[in-house]
Structure 1
Amino acid sequence: MIPSRSALLVGDSWLVAPAGFAPAGPVPELFGLDQETRALIAQFPQFKSILNECPDQQARSEMIHRLEILASADPRSGRPAPEESELVDSLSAVLLLLDDIGTGVRLTSAGYLPPKIAYRFGEVLGLRDFELSTGGESKMLAVMHVREALQQVGLLRKYKGDLLLTKAAKDGQEATPLLWNHLAARLLPSEPTAGTFSHDAALLSLLFAATSDNSFDLTTVAEILTASGWRVNDEPVQSYDVVFQGSWQTILLWYIAPKDQRAWFNGTVSPAAAELARATLLTAKPL
C-alpha cells in the first residue's frame, strides 16, 4: 500500500496526518475536568491537543497523573540540578563524538561516518562485541540513529559531504552545562501545534521519561497513541513505531547515561536523562 497523507477537520482547523498514519474517530473537547486539572493543563498546553484527541478515559487519566508528577518536579521548588561531574559522565558519549568530529570529518560516499569513528562511537555507546562492526555505521544502527538524533538536536550538520560541529556543539565542548541547556531547549518537537504523529510521540516519550521511576514504558506510550486514534497501516501503534516513526528524542535519551546504563531499546531511563526530559518540559515556552 502506498502511504498517503490525510486530514481530519476538527472545529475550524485541520489536523494533518503524516504518511502511513491516520487519526480515527471524533476529537472531543476537554470535558468533565475540575478547575485544578484545567489549571494543570494550562501549565503544560503542549499536551492539550493530545488530550483533546483521546476519548479513552484511562489513557487521559494516565496523562493527567503524569502531568501532576511533572508539576511537582518544578525546579523552582528547590530540586537540585545535576552536578557537573554527573553531566559529564552521562553526556560522555555525545562529547566523545563531538571531539572526534573536531573541525569536521569527510563522510563516506553513502553519507556515513568514517568506519573508525563509527566503531569508536559504537564502543562508547556501549555496544557489545557482536554488535560492533568494522563495516561502518550502516552495520551499527544504534550509531547511525544516535548520530542522526544529534543532527536533529542541532549539534551536528552536514555541509558539502562533511560532518561539522554547530556553534552550540563547540560551546558545549567548552562548558558541559551549556551543552545540557542546549539539549533541554531543543528536545521539544519543533512544531508544537502541528498535530502530527511525531509531535505526539515525542511529547509523550518526554513525559514518560520525565515522570517514570527508572522505567521507560514505551508500551504505554504506544497504547495512548492508539487510544488517541493513531494507526500504522491500520494496525495499533507499537513501541517501535513510537521510536522509528516519531521520536528521535527517545533514541537520544537512551544514551544520555553512564556507559553501563546505555542500551538500545532500553527499558529504563537514567537519572540524568529523566532530569533532562523534566528540564525540557518545565522550561517549555507557552504556546
Structure 2
Amino acid sequence: MSSRFDPPDVNKLTAHLLAEATPEQKAALLEGLMSGRVTGIFEKLKERRDPTLGPVPDQVRGFRLRLDLRGAKPPVWRQLELPGDLTLPRVHDVIQAAMGWTNSHLHRFRLDRDPRSPYFLTQFDLEEGDEGMLEDDVRLDQILTAVGCELFYDYDFGDGWHHALRLEEILDEPPRTARCVGGSLACPPEDCGGLPGYDELADWVRSGYDDAKLPDVFDDAADAHEWLPIGWQPDHFDLDEVNAALAVAVAEPVAVTGELAELSAQLDLRGIRMLREVLGRPLSHGPIDLPDSEVNRITQPFGVLLEAIGTATKLTAAGYLPPAVVEQIAKGTGVTEWWIGKANREDLTPPVAAMRDTARALGLVYVRDGHLRASRIGIQGRRDPQKLWRHIVSRLPLGTKDWERQSGWMALAVAASGTPVEEWRNEVSDLLSALGWRTSGDPYALPPANSATLDVLLQLAGENRLHWREVKGLDFAVATTARAVIRAAD
C-alpha cells in the first residue's frame, strides 16, 4: 500500500473533478492550474513522507509486545519478548514464525493504522525503483519508544493480512533470543482469501466439516480437505511449537558464497526466507570433513564401478558395458539383492546405467574409441577414497544450465541441513517454486526436484544398496558432503 497518490490516481481525481464540475467551477479550476495554485496541491498529494525514527538507545532493553492479527474474531494473537535492537527484517522473521506464516508473500512495516501512513521500504521495493527509508538498518527500539507505541505489519497484499505490534512493557534485561510467552488460535492458512475466507474455513472446521458450511470456493469436501493444510485446526495453539519455530527463524544462516549466496539474496529481496531458514538449521553449521571410514562407505559404489572397468573396458557394439562387468558392478553395489532379473545387461539394469552416467558427469570416466575409460582422477580415486571424495565435492553441483545449477544447489542446501532423505524432494521442489520455476503445462504444480546433483547425493546415501526411493533417514556423512560443497570457501 502507498502513502502517496501515484500519477494515475491524480489523473483520475482530476477527471472526476472535471466531470462533476459546473462550467463556472471548470473555469475556476483552469484559472487555478494556470496560476499554479492547484498544481501545488497535486504535487503535495504525490509527495511521500518518510517515517520518523527515534535515536538509537544507549542501552538495549527487552520488549514485551502483543502481536494481533487485525480484524480476526475471535482474536488471533501472540505475546512476544524480544530484544529491542532487532532490526525490522528480523522482526519480520519473528512475526512470520510466531504467527505460522510461510514467508510466501511480500510484506511492509508502517507506523500507523492508516494504509497511507509512512512505511519502510524492503529490498524488493528498492529493486522496483521506489525511494524512501530502507527497513534493513531500522531497529525496533527506534520505533517503539514508550509503552503503548505500535508498529503495523502488512503481509500478502492480495489476501491483505494486517497486524499490529503493541509495546506492553519495557524489560530491564533483553531476552537472549526472541520468545513467545502466550497466544491464542492458529494462524489462517496461506492464500485462503483474507479474513472472509478464513472465517468460512474456520466455521467449517469448527462445525466438524459440516457440508452445509463448506466454503463455496471448493467443489466438495474432498477438494477442501486436499487443499487445507494437514491437521489445521483454527483453535490450535502450542507454545512449544511456536518457540521451536522462532528458534529456527532467528538462527543465523551459515555463510555461503557464489551462486548459492546470490539465490538466497534473490529470495530475500522478495521477502521469502525459505532458503535462509534451511541454511540457518543447526546441522547446516556442522563439520565439513569426514573420517576415512565414512568416506570409504559412501564412495563405495563409485569405487566398485572404477574397479570393474579398470583402466578401460571395451563396450559392446551398442555402446553398453559387457554383461560380466554389469554383473560385477550390480553385485558389488548391492543392486542384485533387490533388482528383478539377472542384472547383467546395462540396458535392462537402470541402476547400473545411472551409476555410469553419474560417474561420467563427475569426470571419473569417459568414452573414447569404443571403450569406457577411467580418467586420471578416477584411477587415483580408486586407490585413494579421500581424493575421490574431495573430487566429488569439487564437481558439485553438476550442470551448466540455470535449472540444473539451481536445482542442484537447492538439493545440496537441503541435504546439508540434515533433512531426512525421504523429505529431500518435497523441500527442493518448494525452494525451486519460490525461485520462480514452474512445471510446463501446469502453473500450479510444484517443479520436480530431479537433478544430476540429487542423483549423486542419493547414490552416496546408498540408493543402490536399497530399493530405489527406499533410502530414508539422515546420513550424517552425506550431509557433511553437501556442507563441504556449499561452504567450499570456508
Same fold flag (TM > 0.5): yes
Inter-partner Cα distance in structure 2 for 1:248 and 1:237:
21
Inter-partner Cα distance in structure 1 for 2:393 and 2:342:
32
Q: What is the deviation of 1:223? A: 2.0
Residue 227 of structure 1: aligned partner = 434
Residue 363 of structure 2: aligned partner = 154
Q: Does 1:248 align with 2:452?
A: yes
> For the Cα contact (< 8 Å) 2:284–2:418, is it kept in 1?
no
Inter-partner Cα distance in structure 1 for 2:137 and 2:256:
15
Residue 207 of structure 1: aligned partner = 413
Inter-partner Cα distance in structure 1 for 2:380 and 2:419:
32
Secondary structure of residue in 2 paired with 1:131: coil
Q: What is the deviation of 1:155? A: 0.5
Max radius of gyration: which structure? Answer: 2
Tell me which amino acid in the other structure corresponds to 1:253: L
Inter-partner Cα distance in structure 2 for 1:130 and 1:272:
26
Inter-partner Cα distance in structure 1 for 2:445 and 2:306:
34
Inter-partner Cα distance in structure 1 for 2:332 and 2:137:
48
Q: What is the deviation of 1:126? A: 2.9
Q: Which one of the candidate residues 342, 347, 355 is aligned to 1:138? A: 347
> For the Cα contact (< 8 Å) 2:413–2:482, is it kept in 1?
yes
TM-score (norm 2): 0.44
Inter-partner Cα distance in structure 2 for 1:180 and 1:237:
36
Tell me which amino acid in the other structure corresponds to 1:119: E
Q: Does 1:173 align with 2:356?
A: no
- What does the per-residue CA deviation read over 1:129-156, in whole Å, with 9 as the maximum and x for residues that have no partner? 4434445112122221121011111101
Q: What is the deviation of 1:120? A: 2.7
Structure with more contact order per residue of length (Cα contacts < 8 Å, sep ≥ 6): 1
Q: Does 1:270 align with 2:475?
A: yes
Inter-partner Cα distance in structure 2 for 1:123 and 1:57:
49
> For the Cα contact (< 8 Å) 1:209–1:273, is it kept in 2?
yes
Residue 109 of structure 1: aligned partner = 317
Residue 50 of structure 1: aligned partner = 263
- What does the per-residue CA deviation read over 1:185-243, in whole Å, with 9 as the maximum and x for residues that have no partner? 1112454xx5x11111100001111112443421121122123221232325657x322
Where is the helix percentage greater, Structure 1 or Structure 2? 1
> For the Cα contact (< 8 Å) 1:217–1:267, is it kept in 2?
no
> For the Cα contact (< 8 Å) 2:438–2:446, is it kept in 1?
no
Tell me which amino acid in the other structure corresponds to 2:482: A
Residue 290 of structure 2: aligned partner = 82
Unaligned runs of 5+ in 2: 1-123, 129-133, 139-249
> For the Cα contact (< 8 Å) 2:361–2:398, is it kept in 1?
no
> For the Cα contact (< 8 Å) 1:253–1:273, is it kept in 2?
yes
Q: What is the deviation of 1:42? A: 6.9
Q: What is the deviation of 1:74? A: 5.6
- What does the per-residue CA deviation read over 1:28-79, in whole Å, with 9 as the maximum and x for residues that have no partner? 55996679x9x95873332244346558978x3221012223662365xxxx
Residue 34 of structure 2: aligned partner = none
Tell me which amino acid in the other structure corresponds to 1:179: L
Percent of aligned positions that are identical: 22
> For the Cα contact (< 8 Å) 1:171–1:179, is it kept in 2?
yes
Inter-partner Cα distance in structure 2 for 1:135 and 1:45:
43
Residue 333 of structure 2: aligned partner = 125
Secondary structure of residue in 2 paired with 1:43: coil
Residue 218 of structure 1: aligned partner = 425
> For the Cα contact (< 8 Å) 2:287–2:480, is it kept in 1?
no
> For the Cα contact (< 8 Å) 1:150–1:156, is it kept in 2?
yes
Q: Which one of the candidate residues 274, 294, 302 is aligned to 1:94? A: 302
Tell me which amino acid in the other structure corresponds to 1:282: R
> For the Cα contact (< 8 Å) 2:319–2:370, is it kept in 1?
yes
Q: What is the deviation of 1:111? A: 2.1
Inter-partner Cα distance in structure 2 for 1:90 and 1:63:
26
Q: What is the deviation of 1:281? A: 1.3
Secondary structure of residue in 2 paired with 1:163: strand
> For the Cα contact (< 8 Å) 2:461–2:475, is it kept in 1?
yes
Unaligned runs of 5+ in 1: 1-27, 76-80
Residue 107 of structure 2: aligned partner = none
Inter-partner Cα distance in structure 1 for 2:137 and 2:428:
25
Residue 163 of structure 1: aligned partner = 372
Inter-partner Cα distance in structure 2 for 1:142 and 1:110:
18
- What does the per-residue CA deviation read over 1:74-130, in whole Å, with 9 as the maximum and x for residues that have no partner? 65xxxxx32212211222111111011102111222222222222332233333444
> For the Cα contact (< 8 Å) 2:414–2:424, is it kept in 1?
yes
Tell me which amino acid in the other structure corresponds to 2:429: A
Residues 223 and 43 (structure 1), Cα distance of their counterparts in 2 relative to 1, 3 Å cut = closer
Aligned length: 244
Inter-partner Cα distance in structure 2 for 1:274 and 1:259:
15
RMSD of aligned residue pairs (Cα, Å): 3.4
Q: Does 1:68 align with 2:276?
A: no
What is the correspondence of 1:16-55 to structure 2 with a 5 Å cutoff?
Answer: 43-51=256-264, 54=267
Residues 129 and 68 (structure 1), Cα distance of their counterparts in 2 relative to 1, 3 Å cut = closer
> For the Cα contact (< 8 Å) 2:310–2:374, is it kept in 1?
yes
Q: What is the deviation of 1:249? A: 1.6
Q: What is the deviation of 1:283? A: 0.9
Residues 271 and 34 (structure 1), Cα distance of their counterparts in 2 relative to 1, 3 Å cut = farther
